[in-house]
Amino acid sequence: MNRLGSVRRSQVVTTYGPGALIAVDDESFMVAGIDRWDVVDADTVPERRLEQQLRVQALYLPPSETESFRSTRGLPVIRFPLMHSCPDCRRLDWFWKLSADDKNVCARCERPLVPSRFVIACPSGHIDDFPYSRWVHEGRTPDGDHRLELTTQGASASLRDILITCSCGARRTLDGAFDRRKIAVITRCQGRRPWLGDQEECGAGVRTLQRGASNVWFSSVRSALSIPPWSDGVFQLLERYWLMLKSVKDPDMLKNILTGMGAALTAHGYDVDELVRAVLARQAEEAGEVPADTKTKSQEYEALLAGRAESDQNQQFVAEPFDPPAALAPFIEQVVAVPRLREVRALVGFTRLQPSSQDADDASREAPLSRGDIPWLPAIEVRGEGVFLVLDHRQLTAWEQRTEVLARCATLDRNNALRAAERRLSDPAPITPRFVLVHSLAHALIEQMSLDAGYPAASLRERLYVSNEMAGLLIYTATSDSAGSLGGLIAQTRPGRLAALVLEALGRAAWCSADPVCIESTGSGADGLNLAACHACSLLPETSCEEKNTLLDRGLLIGTPDQPDLGYLSDLVRGR
């Protein structure tokens, strides 16, 4: 098997997973489904709670060609798109008709072939080559041998200067190829899934895309923080040997087995009795004797509030609660410094054209990673630190019941209902002022922390905990990069610093270079799901936001010119 190129393991989960296109020099390939990946001797990413949530038996790191991953040949890929052209003789045809021996060279001119710039895709994730023959023949499939040529006339970079000609005399430029109505006349979706090597019935309308466009592939990722008890070093250690230990129920036999393993376990500082108790605890949990709570966020919220002192050098979760500064106490109930955390992110599917959300209807439209059910998913683990804030429950409850607050949030609710109707989704859950407030505050703090903490904004992430019982946000760094060398997030929780950081963040949020247009907006961003929020004030890099930069409003955070006391933190802004 030829080695074509390389990507980072983390990119396989976020950017180059199954079904995604990768440009390698002057060629284009698509990553194959995980049923074709070689995971023999693969490194696992243990995270029990996430495995339960996703109903899989294991999470594996993406393939690598390192020595520790001996059986792996890297990520398998297929050539896509298959339509290519020769810049010399201008022929436009299938790759195997232009190349004699699978080399990316024209058999006639010996010039490197150019993969088609355009593909077509549908909302269900299917993707296909652009139908050049049907396009030039106005939707007909002509009989006989027809040879196509592609000519770039060079007058401009527009589609009207890309000319397709046929040996029968038919001619047509690509002007209008991105028009949904025109491409609908030419073809419908054929249900092709090249990454799986199959085809299914579809017939949906398609859209023309450039193969390098960002909306060709959106990853759908689920994540979880490692929290007690499964974050403790003893459980992480046992994960490596769990297939052997899971069926041993007798404590004495367990003790003999673990004692016989010797230094493989005891070298990590755990005695045999502690290991036996951990094995029995996990066996009980898997057997259902201890109810498995599938509410991942609520478990994390409780663990963050409870705190966890450092007691083990292998501990993956350390949280230190403390009271908020006096200036913030009326609005913020609890602050937690998280010096150590671990997050596991698993790729569960992908979409095209539009990113998916956590809604069940959107999740059902995610394209699969494999043919049939596979008992594992690709995942990565990242480690970092964070700051967790909980809003004051009494103050928040009184604020979110105000008539003017509910009226402002109702605008977002209407826009969200229109979005659901256009996509033929079921009625969405109502958007609450509490959620928009917590989300907007998280964005304001990330913007400020990127200036003060030494991390670029793209290396900071939000994790929102919002329900009738929860109103918290975790801002954390969980990255394999070396960002954040100027002090880190924990330094922002020092006495006197946190209050200053929040006030500075609110001061920045109170003014936007796009005002008054921004602050008076009644629906901006994707599907009109933002109010007073734009790229100049609130939007973050895609890697930082859980909600794809939607459901944001500075007005509910700091007020508006017409209603300066509308915001939950308006008093702090006026008191600066």
What would the pLDDT profile of 486-537 be if each residue is shown by its tens digit? Answer: 447 888 888 788 999 999 999 999 989 988 999 988 888 778 889 999 999 9
d(CA 252, CA 548): 52
Q: Is there a contact between 231 and 317 (Cβ–Cβ < 8 Å)?
A: yes
Q: Is there a contact between 123 and 422 (Cβ–Cβ < 8 Å)?
A: no
> What is the average pLDDT across 262-274?
62
Nearest residue to 550 via CA among 526, 576, 514: 526
Nearest residue to 471 via CA among 506, 442, 445, 434: 434
- Please give the pLDDT value at position 292: 42
d(CA 543, CA 545): 6
DSSP code, position 421:
H
Taking 50 as the threshold, does the pLDDT of residue 460 lie above it?
Answer: yes
d(CA 556, CA 539): 16
Q: What radius of gyration do the chain's Cα atoms show?
A: 27
pLDDT tens track for 390-437: 999 999 999 999 999 999 999 998 888 888 887 777 777 889 999 999
Taking 70 as the threshold, does the pLDDT of residue 66 lie above it?
Answer: no
Q: Where are the domains of the chain?
A: 9-43+74-218, 391-454+483-574
What is the DSSP pairing of strand 376-391 with strand 58-60? parallel
Taking 90 as the threshold, does the pLDDT of residue 131 lie above it?
Answer: yes
Task: Using a pLDDT cut of 90, give the percent of the chain over it.
Answer: 47
pLDDT tens track for 379-388: 998 888 899 9
Q: Is there a contact between 65 and 41 (Cβ–Cβ < 8 Å)?
A: no
- Please give the pLDDT value at position 235: 65
Taking 50 as the threshold, does the pLDDT of residue 290 lie above it?
Answer: no
d(CA 290, CA 374): 26
Taking 70 as the threshold, does the pLDDT of residue 225 lie above it?
Answer: yes
- Please give the pLDDT value at position 202: 93
- Please give the pLDDT value at position 494: 82
Cα 298 → chain centroid: 20
> What is the average pLDDT across 40-48?
81
d(CA 393, CA 387): 19
Taking 60 as the threshold, does the pLDDT of residue 190 lie above it?
Answer: yes
Q: Is there a contact between 561 and 574 (Cβ–Cβ < 8 Å)?
A: no
> What is the average pLDDT across 556-573?
91
Exposure letters 256-293 (e unless 16+ CB within 10 A, then b): ebbeeeeeebeeeebebeebbebbebbbebeeeeeeee
Alpha carbon of 142 to those of 134, 137, 146, 176, 327: distances in Å?
8, 8, 8, 21, 76
> What is the average pLDDT across 83-108?
90
Q: Is there a contact between 419 and 431 (Cβ–Cβ < 8 Å)?
A: no
Residue with tokens 């993406």, as numbered in its chain? 62
Nearest residue to 466 via CA among 344, 358, 350: 358
- Please give the pLDDT value at position 73: 63
pLDDT tens track for 316-329: 888 999 889 999 99
Q: Which of 120-129, 143-152, 159-168, 233-242 has the lowest mean pLDDT?
A: 233-242
Helix, strand or coil for residue 403? helix
Q: Is there a contact between 73 and 65 (Cβ–Cβ < 8 Å)?
A: yes
Q: Which of 116-120, 483-487, 567-571 has the lowest mean pLDDT?
A: 483-487
Taking 50 as the threshold, does the pLDDT of residue 67 lie above it?
Answer: no
- Please give the pLDDT value at position 487: 47
Q: What amino acid occupies position 379?
A: A
> Concatenated DSSP letters for 175-243?
TTTT-HHHHHHH-----EETTTTEE-------EEEETT-GGG-EEEEEEEE--TTTTSHHHHHHHTTHH
Q: Which of 42-46, 243-247, 364-368, 463-467 has the lowest mean pLDDT?
A: 243-247
Residue 235 in tokens: 């459980």
102 confidence band (pLDDT: 50, 70, 90): confident
- Please give the pLDDT value at position 172: 92
Q: Which of 203-212, 296-305, 484-493, 505-514 has the lowest mean pLDDT?
A: 484-493
> What is the average pLDDT across 300-329?
86
Taking 80 as the threshold, does the pLDDT of residue 360 lie above it?
Answer: no
Taking 80 as the threshold, does the pLDDT of residue 349 lie above it?
Answer: yes
- Please give the pLDDT value at position 39: 80
pLDDT tens track for 471-482: 999 999 866 554
- Please give the pLDDT value at position 527: 80
Residue 468 in tokens: 């009738």
Taking 50 as the threshold, does the pLDDT of residue 562 lie above it?
Answer: yes
Nearest residue to 467 via CA among 295, 289, 287, 230: 295
Residue 367 in tokens: 């394209």
pLDDT tens track for 434-451: 999 999 999 999 999 988
Burial class from Cβ neighbours inside 10 Å (0-12, 13-18, 19+) for residue 154 reads exposed
Taking 80 as the threshold, does the pLDDT of residue 356 lie above it?
Answer: no
Burial class from Cβ neighbours inside 10 Å (0-12, 13-18, 19+) for residue 103 reads exposed
- Please give the pLDDT value at position 575: 59
Q: Which of 4-8, 173-177, 344-348, 351-355 has the lowest mean pLDDT?
A: 4-8
> What is the average pLDDT across 362-381?
86
Nearest residue to 475 via CA among 491, 489, 495, 496: 489
3-state secondary structure 331-345: CEEEEEEEEEEEEEE
d(CA 358, CA 545): 13
User: What is the overall mean pLDDT for the chain?
Assistant: 84
- Please give the pLDDT value at position 229: 62
Per the model's pLDDT, the better-predicted residue between 340 and 362 turns out to be: 340
